[in-house]
Structure 1
Amino acid sequence: MGRALSPRFLVAILAFLLVVFYLWPSNKDTPPVIKITKSSFDWSTVQPYHDPSPLTKPPSGVPRRLPRIQYPFPKSSKRFSDTAQAARRDAVKQTFQRNWKSYRKFAWMKDELTPLTAGSKNTFGGWAATLVDSLDTLWIMDLRTEFWEAVEAVAKIDWAVTNETSCNMFETTIRHLGGLLAAYELSGAAVLLEKAVELGDMLYAGFDTPNRMPAFWLDFRKAKNGDLLADSHVASASPGSLSLEFTRLSQITGDPKYYDATSRITELLYGSQNATKLPGMWPTFFNMRDSDLTEHSSFTLGALADSLYEYLPKMYALLGGLDRKYESMFLTAADTIKKHMLYRPMTQTNEDILFSGNVDVGWEVTLNPEGQHLGCFTGGMFALAGRLFDREDHVETGGKLARGCAWAYQAFPTGIMPEIFSMVHCETLAGCEWDENRWRREVSKDSQGFISLPKGFRNARDPSYILRPEAIESVFLLYRITGLEEYQMAAWDMFMAIEQATHTEYGNAAISSVTTTGVPIQRDSMESFWLAETLKYFYLIFSPPDLISLDDWVFNTEAHPLRIPKP
């Protein structure tokens, strides 16, 4: 007959089991084995018609120790365990879940949900843009069940199956390639990297032109036959905003071809920066076919050019500070931007805020004080660069730009700023006194006597709101960089206003005008960046700061976090 176990031995066994229970990885953090369904055409087998050799490799060496970017939040700070912040974070998450549930039910594997009619549409090749774009948001919000279901679906995407004859290089890179890379870095799911490489090889074919400059549209037939050409008139943001994603793909895979492809654009930018009609900045449009970035005379930080500038400090960070060209290009551009493009609006209380306008160069440099919601990213850009390059004046400028966009939200009846607007501006950035008569004259001139605009605004040329993220992006970045709680307060006001104006039974919808005092007219449109960017930034600003720390991650222009190499 066996001997009975001693009480001490039983206690030891129980202790061991408890340790195993608490330390063993939970199922939600252990990647399931998901096999890839390979695309029906393998772009890696297409040999370049225009020889790219020798290939430029990413900078070698130990990454520099970058300056601290995030504010040194105390770990025991009450604000992160505060029930109010948790409630706000949960409110954002609930909005995301409502949208995701509808996408899953009505638009699964399509590019977008139509939030009024509970339907779907394809706008980016039919490769499930909202699904791919939302992967990292699912992970960040700890929606693991939904995340792994989405990964299973992504594993089956066939990049060769589309009703389109071409794809937009810029949009496919920032939404799909950026989304896959970020989700891979967060989760470690190998299938996501495999799909990213498949897509990267397809997009790499878009660089196979006589001068190795990318086409705006990747025409599949022309790319396979060697007939692809770069464009003679293309928005500067398109070739200028591919570098983060292609660089990170090279860093992860060790294949230099992706980095080489975009490094050629960097060299062209660097060599032409001071030869443009507004030295220090690049024009809104490029002639990539002739490798000429200097012939046009309009300049902006808004639509068509925006992320070209955004990627300069971010590339510096992603390369671990090993390529100082990005620092030089940003600081040179920033001087020109401050001198010619930023303006302080005339307001009733002389608010110390800034906006960015547009510039045309003829006999002289002319500022058009037209602002864009899209241009609201500039606050975060300046603040981030200010930390990276030890320029406190840029952090201060970034704060004024971010507060300007938050102020514009509060100015309109819906609590949301318009897509495109113009303001009466002061002659200098030092400010000016309110002049009621001047404002009325300029509003009348711009708006045919329509005076029901907030004071200080000349017009709202495009009064719509399409669920854009740029304002909350900068508010989030300024909060993480400065630690000022005013940005959290502004973010909550913005979120509540957006939710009230855009909420539908099935999701959230773009609205036709932010100027209405009644119920806004909604449009049957919900772009993928609503889930990929806007709600992600709202969620993160109410979350503990170690969740996607700015010292460890850099966001691409679609809010996909890419890991910064460390020394």
Structure 2
Amino acid sequence: MSLKFLRLQPGQDRFHPISKTGSQMSPSGLGWIIIDSLDTMMIMNLTTRLSDARKWLNRGLTYNQNQDVNTFETTIRMLGGLLSAHYLSTLLPDASSQRDYIYLSKAVDLADRLLGAYESKSGIPYASVNIGTREGLLSHADGGASSTAEATTVQLEMKYLAYLTGNEAYWRKAEHAMKIIDDHRMQDGLLPIFVHPDTGHFRYQEIRLGSRGDSYYEYLIKQYLQTSEPVYREMWEEALAGIQKHLLTSTKHSNLQFIAELPQGIGGPLSPKMDHLVCFLPGSIAIGATEGLTETQARKLPSWNAQKEQQMQLARELTKTCWAMYAVTNSGLSPEIAWFKADETNPRPFPEPSSRPRSKNDKASWKQDLIVKPLDAHNLQRPETVESLFVMYRVTSDPIYRKWGWEIFKAFQKHTIVSDGEGYTSLQDVTKVPSPQRDNMESFWLVRPMASNSFRSFVALAGVVRQILISRRPRP
């Protein structure tokens, strides 16, 4: 795919593919898209573009800016992007020279600035931090509380950096935040979605696996797989049992199983709302049950038991529900939030897997059960479903997950690619065809949804990466 050369200022953080413009989050720019997509360029073997990016990192990027940034987003996208690039550069040919530590050195500089977020009274990280002054900042909303997900979704990156550098401060700060959470652990491992950095106490009662709650649960099992610390396996198993006991239910017509919300906490009424973000869960359940092995390999282990069998069945059912969120819309793409017609006769807690009715496979009954409200109909190119499909295919080898993933990719190609073919954009309303386009491409689009598809999906993507990189070339 050939692309026009753009005249954008270096360091811009956002790409607007319809207007062919860029914007930035700080006066000098932080290079969000470039850093988030470094590993994608390595996997695609875009050596020239990667060279351009490395030059910009070396000459044009500085974190010494008087700029407030979100602690969580900066950790997972910027720090995570740099660490992923460093890791891949040690594995892939032509990704880096043996003496090139640009990614790691930038990661250390950024992480040292992010450590200011952990200097709260409790050790729970502040929602934001000024990377110039290294001062942590309370959230401007929610009474100053940090979201639970954001406070507990920084550990993988910090612990890996500690491993690479030998600097235990990164590990200690991140681990201390988890200890505070564990010390205040709530009933059945389900946490309210806000925690205050001054006290370390939870605020409000709302429990959900969507926004502000999601990645706390995702990082529990991933921290166990990363470090083998038994406490994270225990926390994950307790939380998963709590999810099945309090949040899992099914729909009226098709028996689709979904994860509801508890706006008033445990004991309160269920809200039949499920964010697309929740679709991280089936993939996480699968890697938790198999510990990263294939299902065939895991079944041969002495540790395989009936509970793991039930967990894999739940992973399959929830993956189907996440696919249904795509399959029922006119565009074939999921809304940001889905509402379900819950079966009000379901007992609580939900029955054990062996006694649950299996979900139906016909889209007609799915459409009876799934509601898309106008304010929830947008699609932000989120990766959770395709990531779970990727994991489920790798774990089970069932071709249905590859098929569903390919259908989703084709829908993205059809509806989110802009008219001249030079970029992908988020959508305003997935229930309409053509779907109104928003003129914004999320940085994670180049990293997570695309990387979870087959290598054929990279053909069109290569042009998009090339176009963005043009704006990141260092000044002479």
Please classify the TM superposition score into its range, dividing by the shorter chain length: 0.7 to 0.9
Please tell me whether residue 297 in structure 1 is matched to residue 217 in structure 2: no
Shift, 1:495, TM fit = 0.5
Q: Which deviations, in whole Å up to 9, do the C-alpha atoms of 1:180-228 show, x marking residues without a partner?
A: 000100013411111111111111122123333321110357646xx86
Among 135, 148, 170, the alignment partner of 2:72 is 170
Equivalent residue number for residue 89 of structure 1: none
- Structure 1 residues 407-416 or 148-157, which shifts more? 148-157
SS of residue in 2 equivalent to 1:110: coil
1:270-281 correspondence runs (5 A): 270-273=182-185, 276=186, 278-281=187-190
* 8 Å Cα contact 2:127-2:145 kept in structure 1: no
Helix, strand or coil: the match of 1:421? strand
Q: Please report the TM-score for the alignment, with normalisation by the length of structure 1.
A: 0.68
State the 1:232 CA deviation: 4.2
Per-residue CA shift, 1:342-370, capped at 9, x if unaligned? Answer: 222234xx35x422221133683321110
Q: Does 1:147 pair with 2:50?
A: yes
Larger Rg: 1
Q: How far 1:541 sits from its partner (Å)? A: 9.9
CA distance in structure 1 between the aligned counterparts of 2:392 and 2:423, rounded to whole angstroms? 28
Does 2:408 match 1:489?
no
The match for 1:539 is 454
| 1:291 counterpart letter in structure 2 | G
Q: How far apart, in 2, do the equivalents of 1:161 and 1:539 lie? A: 39
| 1:530 matched residue in structure 2 | 445
* Residue 466 of structure 1, CA deviation: 1.2
In the other structure, the counterpart of 1:469 is: 383
Aligned partner letter, 2:196: N
TM-score under structure 2 normalisation? 0.81
Q: How far does residue 109 in structure 1 lie from its aligned partner after superposition?
A: 2.5
Deviation at 1:315, TM superposition (A): 0.6
Secondary structure, in 3 states, of the residue corresponding to 1:151? Answer: helix
SS in 1 for 2:37: helix
1:198 and 2:109 matched: yes
Deviation at 1:338, TM superposition (A): 0.7
Q: Deviations over 1:28-86 (max 9, x none)?
A: xxxxxxxxxxxxxxxxxxxxxxxxxxxxxxxxxxxxxxxxxxxxxxxxxxxxxxxxxxx
Matched, 1:510 2:413: no
The equivalent of 2:367 in structure 1 is 454
Q: In the alignment, is the contact (CA less than 8 A) between 2:325 and 2:338 conserved in 1?
A: no
CA distance in 2, matches of 1:386, 1:304: 25
Aligned twin of 2:279? 376
Q: SS at the partner of 2:382?
A: coil
Residues 279/150 of structure 1: CA separation in 2 closer, same or farther (3 Å cut): same
Q: Distance in 1 between matches of 2:312 and 2:7?
A: 44
Which residue in 2 is equivalent to 1:285? 194
Which secondary structure state, in structure 2, belongs to the residue aligned with residue 384 of structure 1? helix
Q: CA deviation at 1:424?
A: 0.4
Change (3 A) 1:229 1:413: closer
Encode CA deviations 1:501-525: one digit per residue, 9 max, x unaligned. Answer: 1111230111111111x31110111
Contact 1:383 1:395 in 2 (8 A): yes
Cα distance in 2, alignment partners of residues 266 and 102 from structure 1: 48
The CA distance in 2 between the partners of 1:115 and 1:212, in whole Å, is: 40
What corresponds to 2:153 in structure 1? 241
SS state at 1:519 partner: coil
C-alpha separation in 1, matches of 2:89 and 2:272: 44
After superposition, residues 42-81 of structure 1 pair within 5 angstroms as none
The corresponding residue for 2:232 is 326
**For 2:318 and 2:4, how far apart are their aligned partners in 1?**
35
* Paired residues, number: 415
| 3-state SS, counterpart of residue 359 of structure 1 | coil
Residues 377 and 430, structure 2, Cα contact 8 Å, conserved in 1: yes
Distance 1:485 1:542, change over 3 A: farther
Within 5 Å, give how 1:15-26 maps onto structure 2.
none
Query: Which residue of the partner structure matches residue 467 of structure 2?
Result: none
Matches of 1:324 and 1:102, distance apart in 2 = 53
Q: 2:298 corresponds to which residue?
A: none
SS at match of 2:423: coil
Task: Please tell me the root mean square deviation across aligned C-alpha atoms, in Å.
Answer: 2.6
- Cα distance 1:220–1:338, how it changes in 2: closer, same or farther (>3 A)? same
Equivalent position of 1:341 in the other structure: 247
Identity %: 27
Alpha-carbon distance, 1:490 to partner: 0.5
Which secondary structure state, in structure 2, belongs to the residue aligned with residue 155 of structure 1?
A: helix
Q: Does 2:180 correspond to 1:268?
A: yes
CA distance in 1, matches of 2:26, 2:73: 8
Q: CA deviation at 1:371?
A: 1.2
2:168 maps to which of 252, 256, 271: 256
Deviations 1:224-275 (A, max 9, x none): 6xx86688422111111010000000011111000000111111122222xx
Distance 2:380 2:286 in 1: 25
- SS of the equivalent of 1:299 reads coil
